[in-house]
Chains A and B, each alone.
Chain A
Amino acid sequence: METSKLKRIVKRRRAQPSALAWPVGGIGNVNSNNKLTSVKPSPITNSSINSTASHSKVRRHRNPSIRQNKSSQQWIDKYQPRSIKELCIAPAKISLVQNWLESKYDKECIDPTKFIILAGATGIGKSTLIRVLAKELGYRILEWNESFMEYSRQGGYQSSIQQFQEFLDSVSFPYEAVSISDGASAPAKKSLVLIDDLPHLHTQEQKVQFQHCFNAYIQKTQTPTVMIYSNGSEGKLKPDDLEEYLDPQILYSPLVNIIQINPVTKAKMKTCLMKIFQKEGIRIPSPDFFEEMHLKHAGDMRHAIMNLQFQYGSFEGKGFIGRNSTNSGVSTTSMDSRDKKLSTFHALGKILYAKRVDQVSQRSLNQEEDYHDYSWNLDKRPQLQFDAETVLEESDIGIHGALNFVQFHSPDFFSEISEINQAFSNFSDAAYLLDSPYELRGSLFPEAYATSICGRTVGDTNKHPAPSKFRQLTAPKTYEVKRKQNENMIKIENICRRLTYREHHLALDVNVRSSHDFASDALPFIKRIIPEEVATLSSDIFSQRNINIANANNVDNDSINDVKIQVSQQTEVLTRDDIVDSSDDEDICNGNVNASTCMNDSNKNGAKFDHTENEPDIIVIE
């Protein structure tokens, strides 16, 4: 039971070093003693990168045919972004990070965030973003990167956590840290900490230990810190995963900001690749090519460029790469394409708009229906049975997230309460399975069952679906609720403690009682008896409720506003990114639909999912 979990972790972790190797800049500067690397914001020397990059390449492909060509530089290094403009990340995200970094050394800044997490698929330029920004702003990067570690000699994993802790201790005061690494020469240099990879965590104990040292660090640090969180196989941020590393209490506190970097859009990728083509003097291939590139690499820029070089090598001299090349020459499926991914919203939309799943599951039950309309599905993944499990597996949201999401949005798709009841009881089953005791966790079955339940419930139970209409698929409020609950819990604990200390009188009742009891049992009364004591700390908690009683629809204004702002921000950013793509989009929708649709869906719609617009089959149903 335990081993399968272990394997999973190992697998995931194994994917990472290679992912990180590309933009690793100052590998030549590694100070092997304290693992503290200072990357000078000077242009990165090519030679130093070369070795890392080629190394990663070999590892990624495990293909002996790729040999390091010493005479020609790796393209991924050659065309590495040198300025903000060259980055393939949405401008709004860049400026978000940039502003934050700048503000951290601004004395008047009041932003409490000390720690940002850049989450996103591998190879979309997260660490590059930081490096480029650091260069432009003249920051020094203090870096932790586990690729530097040598386990065997260091005596196992335990020490890697220790070293990580030492590293954190050494960097938490920005000026000090610089003086350590650089003598006393440049004391006032601005610096930032970059955590590019995390120590391996195998046991629960290590996780706890890690969490603890991380939490302590976040609370005390004065250096702006960026953590890169890439998940090789999943692409999108899964809160569950992050919670493994960070205590949710910290994770959702204002100290930490999680920024999701989306995969490189087709337009961006096209521009980038075009530039390379031009510089290398290759004839520019047909537009199809870019589509296919994007589809294959699922927004992984690094992978795309590496493949390009590889392909170019085999087609050198001919100077043309077209659609044919991928069909006839190099095997598309086995070698150079990444795992195909469904975007979160696409996948969840499929599940929620039950018709699709319904049709599909009917097919899998061998009931002959007119599913020829869905041949586009088959076209997308020819050899796959298209069913709920696959959808979820291929989507980049984890089962926990998916379950939250589907459960949260499902009532809107029902018209019969008894059917919802069935669905909800199924969801409760799934949640129960996912909550199974720790020893069982990680074993395949409960999770696989939960996945099936999660994926099939709506299709199965919703016999009288509500009329289809536009629905906004926002992030489920579950997390929001949890976060606020934690916040309030802390507040209540404080009240509890303060009342205990009041006038040096130890109130026997208040002190050693769990805050849960206190919140429901005593607090409501105390609030009335001594409002002034409670109000200062908990104004937020209970004033809100009064509003809500008056206006039931308007619950949790804050959170709704938060979400709204996020949504609008995201949409804005994404549309700005994708202006070029919009025309392509239509073509695809009307004609040959392929997987790039879903990539674009995810980018364009972000948090919104407009089903009627993108899915042709809705017409059939209406």
Chain B
Amino acid sequence: MPLWVDKHRPKDLSQLTYHDDTTSRLKSLAEDPHSLPHLLFYGPSGAGKKTRISCLLKAIYGNGAERLRLDKRTFKTPTNRSVDVNMICSNYHIELNPGDAGIYDRFVVQEVIKEMAANKSLNAGGGIMGISASTEEDDSKKKKAVEYKIVVLMEVDKLTKQAQAALRRTMEKYSSTCRLILCCNNQSKVIDPLRSRCLGMRIAAPSHDDVCVALKNVAAKEKITLPDKLTIGIAEECSRNLRRAMLMLETSRVNAGSTVLRDNQGIHKTDWEMFILQLARDITMEQSPQKLIAAREKLYELLINCIPATLILKTLTMELIQNLDDELKYEVIEAAAFYEHRIAMGSKDIFHLEAFVAKFMTIYKKYLNDMFA
């Protein structure tokens, strides 16, 4: 049983429910696959970038693009180190997350694209077939038209600058046989030359209403009763992340134990968020070295559970400023931004997280003292 988030994912451009402008643009691109430029999808996570990419692929290549397989490829770097990268392939495209390759991302990206370009013969065969085979008209019409393969690169913003620069070169070199679709959360992390070679596709997060519509759709397909209040609750809680909303819906369904969901049924936050919530409460309750030591244990726990330090800090900050005086908020956020930057720069997350907690405790205690003094 696949998860709902996968099961009810739109498979076709026409099934997309929001961002109609973008959808129509994608359609017009798919209609004329000859001149498909390199594309850059950007937008927050859970906005539907990936869904749109796979819809576009389907529109270009037909159903063949849906027959996917998972490949684990091993690349030998010039330094004789092998790097394993998981990739998803169809006959027409290949999708990978070059971030998997760590510092060898540049190498892996180049290799993959080179290979795709070299495999052109296989695809050109499709073109020749198109000429000879009047029998398979329908399918070959599309195949004949498209003589390139597509490489989908995820999380391009996490690529090293070198890899991005290399990508730019490779893009030009093989553009006749291979098109790129890049996908990232933050386009400002993509270097200018790369961005200027791609057609940007901004995928904004779905609005509350969009989320509600999507939830209702899925509920209808799964034949469950979804009360409006719960729908809105989920939409608000999911922070405009549709993937999250779907997962929440399915979780609610599992928790309810029946196909009838109730209004008053709680919406589950993730366990780590609850944990951080409690941590925030502890910190605001009392500020002392002992509490700091207790807080640190909680931070360890979060880190052990592979919650990224940045996310911990961010969530904690948002939790902490909820009940603060506006006066203090700036100070706290400034500290958070400061330490988050440090986390992003280095590898010693714990130091910076704890420093932030200590900082908050100090700010808050001073504030309390001033108030009562």
Q: Which residues of A contact B (CB under 8 A)?
A: 205, 208-209, 212, 403, 407, 411-412, 414-418, 420-421, 423-425, 427-428, 430-432, 434-435, 466, 477-478, 481, 484-485, 488-489, 492, 497, 499-503, 505-517, 519-522, 524-530, 541-542, 544-545, 548-549, 552-553, 555-556
Q: Are A512 and B154 neighbours in the complex by a CB distance under 8 Å?
A: yes
Q: Are B346 and A431 neighbours in the complex by a CB distance under 8 Å?
A: yes
Q: Are A212 and B154 neighbours in the complex by a CB distance under 8 Å?
A: no
Given contacts A416-B289, A477-B300, 15 further A-B contacts (CB under 8 A): A411-B292, A421-B355, A431-B346, A466-B289, A485-B304, A499-B3, A506-B88, A511-B88, A517-B45, A519-B308, A525-B244, A525-B250, A525-B251, A545-B301, A553-B294
A421-B361, A507-B2, A511-B70 known; A428+B352 contact, CB < 8 A: yes
- Which residues from chain B contact A542 at a C-beta distance below 8 Å? 271, 305
Closest residue to A482 on the B side, CB-wise?
A: B303
**CB of A434 to closest CB in B, whole Å:** 7
Closest residue to B279 on the A side, CB-wise?
A: A552
**A414 CA to B307 CA, complexed, in Å:** 29
Q: Are B308 and A421 neighbours in the complex by a CB distance under 8 Å?
A: no
Q: Are A432 and B346 neighbours in the complex by a CB distance under 8 Å?
A: yes
**A520 CA to B339 CA, complexed, in Å:** 20
Q: Which residues of B contact A (CB under 8 A)?
A: 1-3, 5-6, 9, 45-46, 50-51, 54, 68-70, 79-82, 86-88, 95-97, 99-100, 154-155, 158, 241, 243-244, 247-248, 250-251, 254-255, 268, 270-272, 275, 278, 282, 287-289, 292-294, 296-298, 300-301, 303-308, 311, 339, 342, 345-348, 350-352, 354-355, 358-359, 361-362, 365-366
Q: Are B351 and A431 neighbours in the complex by a CB distance under 8 Å?
A: yes
A506-B88, A516-B306, A541-B305 known; A411+B297 contact, CB < 8 A: no
**CB of B172 to closest CB in A, whole Å:** 25
A418-B362, A522-B247 known; A508+B351 contact, CB < 8 A: no
Q: Which of A403, A484, A502, A512 contacts B96 (CB 8 A)?
A: A512
Q: Are B297 and A556 neighbours in the complex by a CB distance under 8 Å?
A: yes
Q: Are B352 and A431 neighbours in the complex by a CB distance under 8 Å?
A: yes
Q: Are A435 and B346 neighbours in the complex by a CB distance under 8 Å?
A: yes
Q: Please give me the 9 A-B residue pairs with the lowest Cβ-Cβ distance, nearest first.
A: A435-B346, A524-B270, A525-B247, A428-B355, A431-B348, A421-B362, A431-B351, A424-B355, A519-B306
Q: Are A508 and B306 neighbours in the complex by a CB distance under 8 Å?
A: no
- Which residues from chain A contact B241 at a C-beta distance below 8 Å? 521
Closest residue to B278 on the A side, CB-wise?
A: A549
- Which residues from chain A contact B54 at a C-beta distance below 8 Å? 508
Q: Which of B5, B68, B243, B358 has its CB near the most chain A CB atoms (within 10 A)?
A: B358
- Which residues from chain A contact B293 at a C-beta distance below 8 Å? 411-412
Q: Are A435 and B348 neighbours in the complex by a CB distance under 8 Å?
A: yes
- Which residues from chain A contact B69 at a C-beta distance below 8 Å? 506
- Which residues from chain A contact B6 at a C-beta distance below 8 Å? 505, 507-510
**CB of A583 to closest CB in B, whole Å:** 38
Q: Are B2 and A505 neighbours in the complex by a CB distance under 8 Å?
A: yes
- Which residues from chain B contact A412 at a C-beta distance below 8 Å? 289, 293
- Which residues from chain A contact B251 at a C-beta distance below 8 Å? 525, 528-529
**A526 CA to B243 CA, complexed, in Å:** 12
Closest residue to A203 on the B side, CB-wise?
A: B79
**CB of B358 to closest CB in A, whole Å:** 4
- Which residues from chain A contact B347 at a C-beta distance below 8 Å? 435
Closest residue to A437 on the B side, CB-wise?
A: B345
**CB of B148 to closest CB in A, whole Å:** 21
Q: Are A208 and B81 neighbours in the complex by a CB distance under 8 Å?
A: yes
Closest residue to B243 on the A side, CB-wise?
A: A509
Count of A-B contacts judged by CB separation below 8 Å: 211
- Which residues from chain A contact B88 at a C-beta distance below 8 Å? 506, 511-512
**A413 CA to B271 CA, complexed, in Å:** 33
Q: Are B243 and A522 neighbours in the complex by a CB distance under 8 Å?
A: yes
Q: Are B9 and A500 neighbours in the complex by a CB distance under 8 Å?
A: no
- Which residues from chain B contact A516 at a C-beta distance below 8 Å? 306, 308
**A208 CA to B102 CA, complexed, in Å:** 12
Q: Are A556 and B300 neighbours in the complex by a CB distance under 8 Å?
A: yes
Closest residue to B79 on the A side, CB-wise?
A: A205
Q: Are A427 and B351 neighbours in the complex by a CB distance under 8 Å?
A: yes
Closest residue to A416 on the B side, CB-wise?
A: B289
**A512 CA to B51 CA, complexed, in Å:** 13
**A520 CA to B346 CA, complexed, in Å:** 21
A417-B361, A488-B305 known; A481+B97 contact, CB < 8 A: no
Closest residue to B50 on the A side, CB-wise?
A: A508
**A9 CA to B358 CA, complexed, in Å:** 37
**A524 CA to B302 CA, complexed, in Å:** 13
**A291 CA to B80 CA, complexed, in Å:** 52
**A521 CA to B354 CA, complexed, in Å:** 23
- Which residues from chain B contact A530 at a C-beta distance below 8 Å? 1, 3
Can you name 27 A-B pairs with beta carbons within 8 Å?
A: A209-B81, A407-B351, A412-B289, A417-B289, A420-B361, A425-B359, A430-B351, A431-B342, A432-B345, A477-B300, A481-B350, A485-B303, A492-B306, A499-B3, A500-B70, A509-B3, A509-B243, A513-B97, A519-B305, A520-B270, A520-B311, A521-B244, A522-B247, A545-B275, A552-B297, A553-B297, A555-B297
**A414 CA to B268 CA, complexed, in Å:** 39
Q: Are A209 and B272 neighbours in the complex by a CB distance under 8 Å?
A: no
**A271 CA to B302 CA, complexed, in Å:** 51
- Which residues from chain A contact B100 at a C-beta distance below 8 Å? 514
Q: Which of A421, A513, A542 has its CB near the most chain B CB atoms (within 10 A)?
A: A421
A431-B352, A529-B247 known; A545+B305 contact, CB < 8 A: yes
**CB of B189 to closest CB in A, whole Å:** 15
A427-B355, A552-B298 known; A484+B292 contact, CB < 8 A: no
- Which residues from chain A contact B306 at a C-beta distance below 8 Å? 485, 488-489, 492, 515-516, 519-520, 541
Closest residue to A205 on the B side, CB-wise?
A: B79
**A351 CA to B68 CA, complexed, in Å:** 59
**A509 CA to B247 CA, complexed, in Å:** 12
Q: Are A509 and B308 neighbours in the complex by a CB distance under 8 Å?
A: no
**CB of A430 to closest CB in B, whole Å:** 8
Closest residue to B307 on the A side, CB-wise?
A: A520
**A509 CA to B3 CA, complexed, in Å:** 10
**CB of B90 to closest CB in A, whole Å:** 10
- Which residues from chain B contact A502 at a C-beta distance below 8 Å? 2
Q: Are A417 and B97 neighbours in the complex by a CB distance under 8 Å?
A: no
**A428 CA to B298 CA, complexed, in Å:** 19
Closest residue to A499 on the B side, CB-wise?
A: B3
- Which residues from chain A contact B68 at a C-beta distance below 8 Å? 506
**CB of B218 to closest CB in A, whole Å:** 14
A525-B248, A525-B270 known; A549+B99 contact, CB < 8 A: no
**A489 CA to B308 CA, complexed, in Å:** 11
**CB of A469 to closest CB in B, whole Å:** 13
Q: Are A488 and B97 neighbours in the complex by a CB distance under 8 Å?
A: no
Q: Are B289 and A519 neighbours in the complex by a CB distance under 8 Å?
A: no
A417-B362, A519-B305, A528-B254 known; A425+B355 contact, CB < 8 A: yes
A209-B79, A508-B54, A556-B301 known; A501+B70 contact, CB < 8 A: yes
**CB of A210 to closest CB in B, whole Å:** 10
Q: Are B254 and A529 neighbours in the complex by a CB distance under 8 Å?
A: yes
**CB of A416 to closest CB in B, whole Å:** 8
**A428 CA to B158 CA, complexed, in Å:** 24
- Which residues from chain A contact B255 at a C-beta distance below 8 Å? 528
- Which residues from chain B contact A481 at a C-beta distance below 8 Å? 300, 303-304, 350
Closest residue to A555 on the B side, CB-wise?
A: B297
**CB of A364 to closest CB in B, whole Å:** 26
- Which residues from chain B contact A497 at a C-beta distance below 8 Å? 86
- Which residues from chain B contact A500 at a C-beta distance below 8 Å? 70
- Which residues from chain A contact B303 at a C-beta distance below 8 Å? 481, 485
**A505 CA to B288 CA, complexed, in Å:** 52
**A415 CA to B19 CA, complexed, in Å:** 56
Q: Are B45 and A508 neighbours in the complex by a CB distance under 8 Å?
A: no
Q: Are B358 and A424 neighbours in the complex by a CB distance under 8 Å?
A: yes
